[in-house]
Amino acid sequence: MSDHDESEEESFAQQTLIQAIENQLESGEPPAVRATLNKLTLVGYEREEILHLMALVLAEEINAMLRDDRPFDQAGYESAVRALPSLPGEDSHE
């Protein structure tokens, strides 16, 4: 696979994750997604940046599901979303 194909796949995956976040915002489920969007908007983050951060959290949860062969951890996902802008695995000493 060429570098170009890989970057296209990454871009597609990113867009797919962002669409999933948009769907969560539209449906209001889980509420943590809307609450975090509002919180980060208030402290000066741009919507696009917030969606990107949430997509990274969703990607991490999906990777963990596949790696550990387990179901989606809704509580863990919501907790990680609420912890933004700290990403999973980062120290929150910022």
Q: Where are the domains of the chain?
A: 3-20+29-82
> Rounded to two decimals, what is the model's pTM?
0.85
Instruction: Report pLDDT for 16.
Output: 95
Average pLDDT of the residues in 65-91:
92
Report in angstroms the alpha-carbon separations of 20 from 17, 75, 79, 81.
Answer: 5, 17, 17, 14
Instruction: Report pLDDT for 38.
Output: 97
Residue-wise pLDDT for 6-63, tens only, equals 788 888 888 999 999 999 999 999 999 999 999 999 999 999 999 999 999 999 999 9
Instruction: Report pLDDT for 2.
Output: 59
Average pLDDT of the residues in 60-78:
96
Greater pLDDT, 53 or 88 = 53
Residue 38 and residue 34: Cα distance in Å, rounded? 6
